[in-house]
Amino acid sequence: MAPINQENFDYDLVVIGGGSGGLACAKEAVQFGAKVAVLDFVKPSPRGTKWGLGGTCVNVGCIPKKLMHQASLLGEAIHDAQPYGWKFAEPESVKHDWATLTESVQNHIKSVNWVTRVDLRDKKVEYVNGLGYFKDAHNVVAVMKNQTERVLNTKNVVIAVGGRPRYPNIPGALEHGITSDDIFSLPHEPGKTLVVGAGYIGLECAGFLKGFGYDATVMVRSILLRGFDQQMATMVGDAMVEKGIKFLHKTQPQSVEKQADGRLLVKYRSDDGTEGSDVYDTVLFAIGRTACTDDLKLDQAGVVTAEGGKSDKLDVDSFETTNVPNIFAVGDVLYKRPELTPVAIHAGRLLARRLFNNQTDIMDYADVATTVFSPLEYGCVGMSEENAEAKFGKDKVEVYHAYYKPTEFFVPQRSVRYCYLKAVALLEGDQKVLGLHFLGPVAGEVIQGFAAALKSGLTMKILKNTVGIHPTVAEEFTRLLITKSSGLDPTPATCCS
């Protein structure tokens, strides 16, 4: 393919950030003849943790999280196996080894780091291991490991720097706490752990730690899973309590003090003024993330962050363009966009196609499916029940719901108390489906296919006329007949009729 008209620029595109979105954009752009460089540099966490090329998802996000979640599920499966006829000489001797897990997880991550480097080389994307900042709108400076600086002159820039976990502004938090940046490579057993924060990252971490046999407590400032359907969020929490995970509601930490024995004394205060304290081996903060825009010197390129410069995130138009015409942004650095790896990847690819292949498709940020990998998983796509009612009015929305019993749970007599799903739909006509919510095993695998259906205009009429695959948990969506407004019991009487 003929090279892009470079107009005397050294590069057609410089991408700042070697995570999912930035890499996808860079690799797509070179296919159309663009000359591309990717800058990536990982600042160590306050604890000193650092990692290789690939961004949050590969190194300290989705991939190690899913592996540790899987490790936790395997622990449950071992106990389930006995009533299914599998015999162990000493079942009580089955225990988890943290060091083996972290070594296996880190070995996999390092292999992905290597494959990512090779892939960039093969695709002729120049990789620069340097921290980027703007000299001006067309010149990006890479600060190398030895503190030398290299200037890259480019026609276009994509900001894909993502974010990093925040710490609370309390004594001892930074010195003694860890975040998701550190947990997946922690060099010692976490032991009794306090997780501060009840977003999906906090709940997932608490879930797999409890699965390995560690004492886990979640400290909740306000609500669980802000931004998600709150009925489902409450049920996720209740299912975690059933697993033995403790919750401190309406509570905030006040200080973290290291004691003589090395353990951490956490003092906390509830909304009603009640004060308390407890001692933990590990304190993990999962209270939100901050976009990595501070180092970029955006003002030198004329880029203004969201909320008129008050936010650390970037506002973009429907073409991912910032307020400077040749500077774009994708991924978790964006303001009020889903912070999800596949979103960043898709947006990055579409951006490259528009810039270098005359395509016009734009990113659709609506109805993006996601899953919380809590012990009992929660998958959803589309609108929450409360958002649907707020937009269309409670009298215009119908909710179909049901409890169900996974076949796999019967023999080991696992709890089915929180296995539940619902469809949020418009009341009129064929009842267009606005949102689907599923709490139960393999929720991500279940919700993915239904996400495509919802994007295609799924209605309750179509859903009811879809024949399920029996016996699966996904088929439960095709068996939704009871509405909340009917007041009928949504508990199933039998599985096969």
Q: In the beta sheet, which residues pair with residue 134?
A: 140
Query: Is position 170 annotated in a ligand binding site?
Result: no
* Residue 55, phi-psi category: left (phi > 0), alpha (psi -120 to 50), beta (remainder): left
**Would you call 108 a catalytic residue per the annotation?**
no
Q: Is 201 annotated as a binding residue?
A: yes
Q: In whole angstroms, what is the distance from residue 196 CA to residue 490 CA?
A: 34
Tell me the β-bridge partners of 258.
Answer: 264
Reading the block at residue 61, the tokens are 């996000």
Residue 332, annotated as binding a ligand: yes
- Selecting among 69, 188, 437, 470, the annotated active-site residue is 470
Rg (CA), the chain: 24
The residues near 79 (Cβ < 8 Å, ≥ 6 apart) are: 91, 412
Six-digit token pair at 406?
A: 């996974």
Q: How many CB atoms lie within 10 A of CB 66?
A: 16
**131 marked among binding-site residues:** no
Class of residue 146 by CB neighbours under 10 A (exposed 0-12, middle 13-18, buried 19+): exposed
Helix ranges, 271-376 (H):
341-356
DSSP 8-class letter at 45:
P
Angle at 234 between CA 211 and CA 453, to 5 degrees: 90
132 marked among binding-site residues: yes
Q: How many CA atoms lie within 13 A of 120 on its CB side?
A: 27
Residue 288 among known ligand-binding residues: yes
Residues 224, 463: Cα–Cα separation, whole Å: 30
Helix ranges (DSSP H) in 331-397 = 341-356, 385-392
User: How far from 365 is each of 214, 339, 342, 348, CA to CA, in Å?
Assistant: 38, 11, 11, 13
- Taking the CA of residue 381 as centre, how many other CA atoms within 13 Å lie in the half-sphere pointing to its CB? 21
Report the distance separating Cα 132 and Cα 128, nearest Å: 9
Task: Please tell me whether 85 is known to bind a ligand.
Answer: no
Q: What is the DSSP letter of 103?
A: H
Amino acid identity, position 467: V
For the annotated binding site, the residues are: 66, 132, 197-204, 288, 332
For the annotated binding site for NAD(+), the residues are: 197-204, 288
For the annotated binding site for FAD, the residues are: 66, 132, 332
Active-site amino acid positions: 470
